[in-house]
Structure 1
Amino acid sequence: MRVSRFTVLIVILLIKSLIFNNVYSQAGPEIRKSNFKTVKDGFKVAWDHVKEGDAYFSEMGKSYLDAYGEYKKALMYNSNNAALNYKTGVAAFYSGKRDEAAPYFLKAWELDNHIAEDVLLLAGRALAFQGKFDEAVEKLEAFKNTTDPKNKVAADLADRYISECRAAKELTKDTLRIEIMNAGVNINSGYDDYSIVFSPSGSRIYFGSRRPIHQKTENRYSDIKPDENIFMSDYREGGWSTSTPAVNTLNTEYCEVPLYLNKSEDRLFIYAGYLGNGDILVSSLKKGKWKKPEKEQIGITSNLPETSISFSPSGEEAAFIRDSDKKGFGGKDIYIVKKTDNRKWSKPVNAGITVNSRYDEESVMYSGGGDTLWFSSAGHNTMGGFDIFYSVRSTDGSWGPAVNAGFPVNTPWNELFYTPVPGKDSLFYFVSDRSGGIGGLDIYSARILPPPVVIEPKPEPAPPPPPPAPVIVRDTVIIIKEIIQAPQPADPSVYLTGRISDSETGESVMARIEIIDFETDALVTTTASSDIDGNYRVRLPEKKTYIVNIRATGFLSDMKKISVGSDYKKDFIQLDVPLIKVKVGKKVVLNNIFFELGKAVLTKESFEELNKLAGIMNDNPTMKIEISGHTDNTGSAVINARLSTERARAVMDYLVNKGIDKSRMTYMGYGSDQPVADNATPEGRARNRRVEFKILEM
């Protein structure tokens, strides 16, 4: 039997959500033709989308994403059908688009309170993925109040989700100073990528991936994804190389995932899903070649799945994950084995209730000092799904209470596989299926930022001491005149605050934000926007001019210039930035591009915008674009066509001079053929006179 590690891990969560056989049937509520049809025009095409969506929907986990696409097209014809909205929400939620599902569930419930017994449950779950925790709790409480009191499973599930929302609300009050970045396309793929193992030097990364190794790779699992295999990448010249499959002795036609590499780099522990229900094997490096994996020698193999292992720095202790038996605390638990006096290994001992919950634990890892155990759990005070936790060993050798690693490392999505980078105390990697990724589970890096630099204002020179207060003696009465103390100077700090969002949907975007000194081009500080609400806040150390550089995975980077004058009175500057999502065919107008009158000569006022475009090209090295010039409809059409072509060429030449490969760009002049506004008004003609670029390839 082949058991994918991640399939077991995530399917458990999915199944726990499907609590009523009569509700969560393969068909779902029927979208009736008579209820769906409104007008004749467009009905046939829309109904075809419904039928296609239903066909995909009936396959459940295999094709929810395809169903979601078809249903959205059908909604363009009739957005007021309760069954269609409900099934669109289900398809979105279970295809990894959980943060997009809430509006469909809410609309379905608004149209028909009885469309499905679980509509409020799913609405509450989906709202949590949008960071709307109070509203989510409201819907989950309403679900409990409208559900059969005898259905304890439903009530328990709703209570669990309510607890997660309350934990999330509390944890998001205190945002950690951590910069989180997607590891990029050289590591991540459109499939699930996870289970990180670093070489002791940190220069090589091994990880598991569900991507196909060959074009003929079979999809063997119920989720119609290929087997998981071991991939690797080397860190070169400041970045990870394109990942490649490990050697055939490690990867078979079945499923393998890396778990742990010893300090001497000659023993690689792997998860093999083709043995038993999933066992841990060891491959040895002999004469520079990895040998066929063999059974581990520490005595942890059982008839239950073992999916993770880590050794203490001394090598005298190991922690591993096993599907718990009757002696466990529920789900998959952490177990500990130790070397005995005769150098054999002890029998596995459950790590205890402080770390093991009634739900699943996964991806266990010792800290560099061996006194802290890192792991993921679907229990404790998780924000939702799996969160990353840690437990500190007590002086008596027992493990202390599980502590949530905090936001924004943890979110309502799944976070697993905490893995520190060797030799870099402030850098670790982890895995998440949060929105904005490349596909499925992605690998992320997280850098702990230093405390913000607080630049105290230089104190004014101390004034000379005041003269003694006059004392007047009259008989025996002493009168002392009051000395008034000057107030303390106010805090002169100015904070840059705002929200980063998707320009199309308005949804929150997690982005890296760099503050750069405009005069010196020096990096002043960095921060990150929250992937829950998109908000950020960063202190500006001085009142001067800065460049704000915003980058996010899957979006075009943006750059803003802000000036804070010495006479600026407020204590904050608001800067909201909508980012443009990267996708083939997307057109972007280049603002503030100016030419000499009637010529194709760029003025210096254009350079800032063009430098931003050069930065975008550098951030997306595989992106190819078409640069197009456009005019209004005044004057000769022939002259307009020629001028727009020459101006597009001038922009391309500028980018070439900035180091952008010419083969990545084409240029075209369209004259007045593609207006974006009415040429009858001065404002419309101004909008039509423009230069834009279109993404051709990514």
Structure 2
Amino acid sequence: MRIAITTLFFLTCFSVFGQYTKYHTTDKRAEKYYEEARQYLKRAQFREAFEPLQDALDKDPNFIEVWLAMGSANYRLGRFDETLVALQKALEIDPDYSKSIYAYFLIGEIYFKQANYEEAKAYLAHYLSRDNTEIKKRQQAEVMVDNCQFALVAMEAPFEYNIQILPDHANSFALQYFPVLSVDQQTIYFTRREGLSVQQDEDIFYSDKLEDGSWSMPQSVSENINSAYNEGAASLSADGRMLVFTSCDGRRGFGSCDIYVSYKEGDNWSTPENMGNMINSAAWEAQASLSADGRTIYFVSNRQGGYGRKDIWSSSKNKKGKWGAAVNLGKKINTNKDEISPFIHANGESIYYSSNGKIGLGGLDIYMSEKTDSIWSDPVNLGYPLNDAHDQLSLYISSNGEKGYYTIEKKDRGSFESKLYSFDLPDSFRVSNRSSYLKGTVTDADTGTPLRANIKLYKLNNEKYYSELLSDMKTGDYTVVLSESNQYGLYISSPGYLFQDFSFSFDDIDAFDSNLLDVKLEPVKVGTTTVLGNIFFDFNEYSLQRKSMSELKEVYSFLKQNPQVKVEISGHTDNVGSADYNLELSTKRAKSVYDFLRFKRIGDEQISYKGYGQTLPIAPNDNLENQSKNRRIEFKILGISDQ
């Protein structure tokens, strides 16, 4: 945890010194030089104060107040080593001198920042043993002591992270931070700043992974996105076609920094749009992270109604595609200090973020929490050496949960460094449910023309869709994310075409053997047939299982959108059992689907049903897999009216 010593603190110290009529010296010339230096210090002219302070020490080397002032001025200038020398000299002269109490606090804080936790504990403990400590400073010291103890334990049992700085062009700028990768880890996007000054331009760049594992020369993400204003802290949807980012002081918005969105069609990014007042406010909003399907966004804001200075909030799209009001993630995640740079994993259940409001190793540490039934677990510090005395932030974890990327910021003697690193994630901090991706192209089955298709992914134990997106208008490309321990139904549809569906039992990511699924949609015409792959019955039964609901909803939706279409619900079986039994079973199963649609007020003029038993197999009945293919419900277009 970083403890900031404010200008007010130093001025308070000097005013305390002024309450004494006599200083810790008998040399009047030394006292005069010290008084001169105090005037500079009151005006925060720290560099100008050094000459009279040194003059005072030349007259009296044991002038404690001068050593204390020298230490304070050096601290304000970021000269921590010189600060330690000056303050320790004061304590050496008289360790119990009343004016030296803040030296123990300040030395303890510096040692804490430098990861010298044992020394930090000793000095802070001495500070806390004194009676005349301020309440606020005492609380800060107590927190630092707790952090020191945590850090010492963490360093005794380090995790195997195999942290590596990213090579080649990925770290070619003065500063680079906020890495985010495509779901296949072949492209990295990051924010780059042209120089060390906060006034210098920030833009979003990307780099592609080459065959030898190195990164290509970074390129600007798009002229439509990068501008003369600052753009940064980007996040991508899993299909790489929705990008959200922060822009400050330039674009029209609601506050000092707002979150914007751009969409990719083909190779071109659209002109960014402000994400609106459900997400942005008159306060500061930044550092967004998108869910895999782009329908939920997590971001940082210092708006009112939070728990601390900067909190993590979220917003989700409703059924109409509109963003809902932002919701605070709650006090399990947020503290009375800063929570920043959230990253929501592809599984939608695991969040990683940085905080300086929890017990850690110093500065901003990275924590992890997982969501079960909308409740976040107690955050866990990711331990040493991923976390250390520096600031760690802007983490990205691969969909399979094995690889991570993040930023390390180092500040020392006025210099500032920010570079990108990769690491291997230890088992202790991997997501409970890993993810993989499925990608492909949607085309017209007759012409091969790419299609703009609606793609819905259901968890089959839940009739609500889990994720929804559109394929690329120009290329037909799509990407969806699948997570372990789920059975999915995938539905792909486009106006004027018969939909297709697929089923995936995704119990083990390592057993998932294909990431590619190209889909050819048949135009709506008489004779077109599709298998309803997510209709489920118990063995030898005809009552619909509840996990059939997502399929039934999609069939209903198609019929409502195409009232001119007349369809037959066809039932089929394998050849196990008698032909008469199979004919009866297939007829009853087809009727179960028919009855559901009639219940939903689809008319007899639009649907009918028929059982075919074992008479129309689509595969030889020579093994269990082929038999399962033959046990099916089909959806066949019988006619198209002129209405």
TM range (shorter): 0.5 to 0.7
Q: Which of 332, 342, 347 pairs up with 1:364? A: 342
Q: Which of 122, 128, 135 pairs up with 2:112? A: 128
Q: Report matched runs for 1:488-507 at 5 Å.
A: none
Give the drift of 1:296: 1.5
Q: Which of 312, 324, 331 pairs up with 1:334? A: 312
Q: Which of 165, 169, 176 pairs up with 1:193? A: 176
SS in 2 for 1:353: coil
CA 1:209/1:15 → structure 2, altered by over 3 Å: closer, same or farther?
A: farther
Give the drift of 1:375: 0.8
Give the drift of 1:186: 3.3
The aligned residue for residue 320 of structure 1 is: 299
The aligned residue for residue 590 of structure 1 is: none
Deviations 1:196-218 (A, max 9, x none): 222333222222233339xxxxx
- Contact 1:189/1:439 (<8 A) preserved: no
Q: Report matched runs for 1:17-32 at 5 Å.
A: 20=9, 22-23=11-12
CA 1:277/1:338 → structure 2, altered by over 3 Å: closer, same or farther?
A: same
- Contact 2:233/2:288 (<8 A) preserved: no
The aligned residue for residue 348 of structure 1 is: 326
Q: Which of 196, 221, 225 pairs up with 1:250? A: 225
The aligned residue for residue 412 of structure 1 is: 389
Q: Which of 403, 415, 418 pairs up with 1:427? A: 403
- Contact 1:98/1:129 (<8 A) preserved: no
CA 1:342/1:267 → structure 2, altered by over 3 Å: closer, same or farther?
A: closer
CA 1:146/1:320 → structure 2, altered by over 3 Å: closer, same or farther?
A: same
**Whole-Å separation in 1 of the counterparts to 2:129 and 2:4:** 23
Write the letter of the residue equivalent to 2:136.
Answer: V
Write the letter of the residue equivalent to 1:110.
Answer: E
- Contact 1:228/1:254 (<8 A) preserved: yes
The aligned residue for residue 245 of structure 2 is: 270
CA 1:311/1:291 → structure 2, altered by over 3 Å: closer, same or farther?
A: closer
Write the letter of the residue equivalent to 2:420.
Answer: I
The aligned residue for residue 106 of structure 1 is: 88
Deviates more, 1:434-443 or 1:153-162: 434-443
Deviations 1:78-110 (A, max 9, x none): 999978876776677667776886455434543
Give the drift of 1:155: 1.9
Q: Report matched runs for 1:528-567 at 5 Å.
A: none
**Whole-Å separation in 2 of the counterparts to 1:320 and 1:165:** 30
1:444 aligns with 2:421: yes
The aligned residue for residue 366 of structure 2 is: 388
Deviations 1:137-166 (A, max 9, x none): 2212333444745x3222222222222212
**Whole-Å separation in 1 of the counterparts to 2:424 and 2:29:** 56
The total of aligned residue pairs comes to 409
**Whole-Å separation in 2 of the counterparts to 1:67 and 1:409:** 40
- Contact 1:99/1:435 (<8 A) preserved: no
* Structure 2: gaps spanning 5 or more residues: 32-36, 429-643
CA 1:450/1:302 → structure 2, altered by over 3 Å: closer, same or farther?
A: closer
CA 1:386/1:25 → structure 2, altered by over 3 Å: closer, same or farther?
A: farther
> What value does the CA root-mean-square deviation take over the aligned residues?
4.7
The aligned residue for residue 138 of structure 1 is: 122
**Whole-Å separation in 1 of the counterparts to 2:147 and 2:159:** 19
Give the drift of 1:132: 2.9
- Contact 2:177/2:419 (<8 A) preserved: yes
The aligned residue for residue 183 of structure 1 is: 166
**Whole-Å separation in 1 of the counterparts to 2:217 and 2:76:** 30
**Whole-Å separation in 2 of the counterparts to 1:356 and 1:98:** 31
Deviations 1:248-293 (A, max 9, x none): 4333333221320122323221111215221101123355333432
1:157 aligns with 2:135: no
SS in 2 for 1:179: coil
**Whole-Å separation in 2 of the counterparts to 1:180 and 1:316:** 32
Give the TM-score, by structure 2 length.
0.53
1:284 aligns with 2:268: no
1:166 aligns with 2:149: yes
Write the letter of the residue equivalent to 2:259.
Answer: I
Q: Report matched runs for 1:517-666 at 5 Å.
A: none
Write the letter of the residue equivalent to 2:117.
Answer: F
Percent identical = 24
- Contact 1:190/1:439 (<8 A) preserved: no
- Contact 2:188/2:208 (<8 A) preserved: yes
CA 1:435/1:345 → structure 2, altered by over 3 Å: closer, same or farther?
A: closer
Give the drift of 1:413: 1.9
Q: Report matched runs for 1:82-93 at 5 Å.
A: none
Give the drift of 1:399: 0.5
**Whole-Å separation in 2 of the counterparts to 1:83 and 1:235:** 58
- Contact 1:433/1:441 (<8 A) preserved: yes
SS in 2 for 1:22: helix
Give the drift of 1:19: 5.4
Write the letter of the residue equivalent to 1:174.
Answer: A
SS in 1 for 2:226: coil
**Whole-Å separation in 1 of the counterparts to 2:167 and 2:45:** 31
Give the drift of 1:340: 3.1
**Whole-Å separation in 2 of the counterparts to 1:24 and 1:234:** 54
**Whole-Å separation in 2 of the counterparts to 1:387 and 1:297:** 31
SS in 2 for 1:20: helix
SS in 1 for 2:299: strand
Greater radius of gyration (CA): 2
- Contact 2:365/2:391 (<8 A) preserved: yes
Q: Report matched runs for 1:396-407 at 5 Å.
A: 396-407=373-384
Give the drift of 1:15: 5.0
Write the letter of the residue equivalent to 1:399.
Answer: W
CA 1:341/1:292 → structure 2, altered by over 3 Å: closer, same or farther?
A: closer
Write the letter of the residue equivalent to 1:445.
Answer: S
Q: Which of 209, 228, 238 pairs up with 2:213? A: 238
The aligned residue for residue 464 of structure 1 is: none
The aligned residue for residue 206 of structure 1 is: 189
**Whole-Å separation in 2 of the counterparts to 1:450 and 1:372:** 14
Q: Which of 280, 287, 295 pairs up with 1:301? A: 280
CA 1:111/1:193 → structure 2, altered by over 3 Å: closer, same or farther?
A: farther
Q: Which of 366, 371, 378 pairs up with 2:356? A: 378
Write the letter of the residue equivalent to 2:298.
Answer: A
- Contact 2:248/2:258 (<8 A) preserved: yes
Give the drift of 1:363: 0.6
SS in 2 for 1:138: helix
The aligned residue for residue 558 of structure 1 is: none
SS in 2 for 1:368: coil
**Whole-Å separation in 1 of the counterparts to 2:75 and 2:9:** 17
- Contact 1:267/1:282 (<8 A) preserved: yes
CA 1:233/1:341 → structure 2, altered by over 3 Å: closer, same or farther?
A: closer
Write the letter of the residue equivalent to 1:284.
Answer: Y
Give the drift of 1:247: 4.3
- Contact 2:191/2:234 (<8 A) preserved: no
CA 1:100/1:241 → structure 2, altered by over 3 Å: closer, same or farther?
A: farther
